Structure 1
């Protein structure tokens, strides 16, 4: 009889995980508090970029089902928590969804159960927050049930790496817990990487994203002074990345967005300051640099228009791509929102185009451009914020009166073209 697995949270992390486990032959039930999500899934409709309706229907044919009824946990051999941990007002992770999921498990916990937390958080959460709630029922982690942390590493829109072939980091409350969790994942992922414990696994995820956060901040800062020094940073990066060792290319942009980079390093910074009493200065500086990039984009936009003796106020500015990364519909923490709001505050008429976003609810006063060619030709300034694969950027830049490329996709020597 196959292992019964309940995956709590059916978003961009939980649903791909559920698919891999289901297609590997495990008996998988998805548990979510949103009845609209569970109903849609049970009717074969996907709500995330990485899985199609066909993928969901394949899952259903292999026995997957979704529910809002937490009583399914009473029969579960494994419970995997994949709920969101947004940034709290204090700067750390908001653990309310995690606590809610763990509380549901605690009400149904039984001997022999394996509980795994995947939600990104600060080091110590599994042991200090999750374990006490589970043990309040009288069972002991590492003795009566197994407990582990395995950070999600989903990269939405990545066609090369997904839940199956991205190595799975696993750290348990005890060595036996680590082994049990690793053996669970090894049924449907290609490789597991075992750490010494839960804290090491929790910290590994934060290190990964802090590394990206800091290096993106480095090139964003360089973009500002290279512009002032009349140095082409894009050409500099191309030259530097020719070195076959000791260098990894990062690129500047209008800011950072998404579910990880602008948020996760702050968990670590907050944890260091609250526990140790001193700041994690690299993270705080990186956050400062990256968070001011939308304002810098607007400053540069104003300079571009001024050079043509036009004011930002009253000018039509068209934003191309408002999602946080290319070729997906995800808008979480997208810097496009702040760029648009700052332009609107200065009196610009803001229009946008994005093949993945029909209604930009984050900026309801921005006007959607339906005909891209007409919109570009009529805008006083077109700003490329996200380069979706459907955009012929070179052609759009040629049509534009002024074109501001924040992604380094076109030759800056072209007439009317400016790169970040």
Structure 2
């Protein structure tokens, strides 16, 4: 089966790049997203994602190989479909599969003999067979017999220009060998190598392993950064020294916390599922605990710096946060540690403004840390705001920001990501995460 007509459910950071890649590969692609405003923008050639150039979107529209719709009925026209919807956690860190379930339920009325369904949303092992499959089989069709079903984890790295959906290797596991082979054949049309595995559960676990590996190693270096602060050692210098070893070491860097969709979420998906087997992922959960504590440490470090160098506390202090995206050079603020940092600063009585060249508006609050929701607007990075601030807190080190200007103009800077490394001596006092503070001023 050629599978020349492809449906993509969810046109966000994962689904939209995938849809356009298949269109570029010669497939006819129908994108489904329940957000009618997003669909209208896409059909007008406006990309909501920085990683998807509008030129590429408009080319796909002009070719006639891509269109977007808010209705699932269009899936009756395709031969294969991908589910690329969010899989967040709830306030208690339990998996929220409501979007996956809604997508599967949306497919059911239009599922027919010979369809291929591939789940791409990151989730715990068993989701494809225990959650998606039963919903789809309400149609009266049987997975692996009447239609094919597989899991292939997304491997999108926002802001990465080298590794994209077109060249990043794919992993795929189907409910039957035929489902695996068919999904692998379709994915191979994108041009990247495809690695088949024995089941959806293996593919689902492989995605969690990839991200939990990063979570654990980030937690390790975050913990060492805290120790280095107490010991008067610069963790950034330590890492550069360790990197000279050509084997047995991989550099990870400390920071204000972890963000995005995967690293803050995946450990909790696995630990939640593990409890079904009377197994407790203590090591993984400890790493998540360390990473989740980093925003609290950043605020503590900021308060300590204000007390030491400005002789004032956080209450009434003016804090200027630089960068609220979870990762530099992206416009994605999901689960960004900047959210918790700003909430904690506001709760402790500070005035807060922020600048991010890629995130024009940023919502905080509505949780246990700050019940009141508040939407902030990015302000210009200009001398007036830098002089306004009692402390500038660099959370996300976007390359587009002139840090030389920041340290020349500001009085006090707390740098959580080493963005100011290598800059000449300046008038500002710079306090780096994972490095000793300068002595008290005389």
Settle same-fold status: TM greater than 0.5. Answer: yes
Residue 24 (structure 1) aligns with: 25
Any idea what the Cα deviations from partners look like across 1:139-184, whole Å, max 9, x if unmatched? Answer: 2222221110001111111111111111111111111111100001
Q: Does 1:410 align with 2:411?
A: no
Q: Per-residue deviation at 1:346?
A: 1.6
| Kept in 2: contact 1:340–1:366 (CA 8 A) | no
Residue 210 (structure 1) aligns with: 212
Which sections of structure 2, spanning at least 5 residues, go unmatched? 366-373, 434-442
Any idea what the Cα deviations from partners look like across 1:15-62, whole Å, max 9, x if unmatched? Answer: 100001001110111111111111111111111121122221111012
Which sections of structure 1, spanning at least 5 residues, go unmatched? none
Residue 398 (structure 1) aligns with: 408
Shift in alpha-carbon separation, 1:356–1:174, aligned structure 2, 3 A = same
Please state whether the residue corresponding to 1:116 is helix, strand or coil: strand
Residue 143 (structure 1) aligns with: 145
Residue 171 (structure 2) aligns with: 169
Residue 227 (structure 1) aligns with: 229
Q: 1:376 aligns with which of 377, 381, 386?
A: 386
Distance 2:376 2:29 in 1: 42
Q: Per-residue deviation at 1:399?
A: 2.3
Q: Per-residue deviation at 1:391?
A: 1.4
| Kept in 2: contact 1:272–1:278 (CA 8 A) | yes
Distance 1:367 1:139 in 2: 50
Distance 1:366 1:22 in 2: 37
User: After superposition, where does 1:15-414 map in structure 2 within 5 Å?
Assistant: 15-63=16-64, 64-273=66-275, 275-308=276-309, 309-362=311-364, 364=374, 368-411=378-421, 414=425
Distance 2:220 2:263 in 1: 14
| Kept in 1: contact 2:361–2:376 (CA 8 A) | no
| Kept in 2: contact 1:350–1:367 (CA 8 A) | no
Shift in alpha-carbon separation, 1:139–1:34, aligned structure 2, 3 A = same
Distance 2:322 2:301 in 1: 16
Q: Per-residue deviation at 1:373?
A: 2.6
Distance 1:39 1:380 in 2: 43
Shift in alpha-carbon separation, 1:303–1:89, aligned structure 2, 3 A = closer
Q: 1:419 aligns with which of 421, 424, 432?
A: 432
Distance 2:299 2:243 in 1: 29
Any idea what the Cα deviations from partners look like across 1:49-90, whole Å, max 9, x if unmatched? Answer: 211222211110122111122122223210111111111345
Q: Does 1:5 align with 2:6?
A: yes
Q: Which moved more, 1:317-326 or 1:71-80?
A: 71-80
Please state whether the residue corresponding to 1:314 is helix, strand or coil: coil
Q: Per-residue deviation at 1:365?
A: 6.8
Please state whether the residue corresponding to 2:74 is helix, strand or coil: helix
Please state whether the residue corresponding to 1:136 is helix, strand or coil: helix
Q: Which moved more, 1:203-212 or 1:104-113?
A: 104-113
Distance 1:136 1:354 in 2: 46
Q: Which moved more, 1:194-203 or 1:54-63?
A: 54-63
| Kept in 2: contact 1:2–1:25 (CA 8 A) | no
Shift in alpha-carbon separation, 1:368–1:170, aligned structure 2, 3 A = closer
| Kept in 1: contact 2:413–2:429 (CA 8 A) | yes
| Kept in 2: contact 1:353–1:372 (CA 8 A) | no
Q: Per-residue deviation at 1:251?
A: 0.6
Any idea what the Cα deviations from partners look like across 1:187-218, whole Å, max 9, x if unmatched? Answer: 12321111111000000000011011111111
Q: Per-residue deviation at 1:411?
A: 4.3
Q: Normalized against structure 1, the TM-score is what?
A: 0.96
Distance 2:26 2:304 in 1: 59
| Kept in 1: contact 2:361–2:375 (CA 8 A) | no
Residue 369 (structure 2) aligns with: none
Superposed CA RMSD in Å reads 1.7
Distance 1:343 1:192 in 2: 46
Shift in alpha-carbon separation, 1:411–1:131, aligned structure 2, 3 A = closer
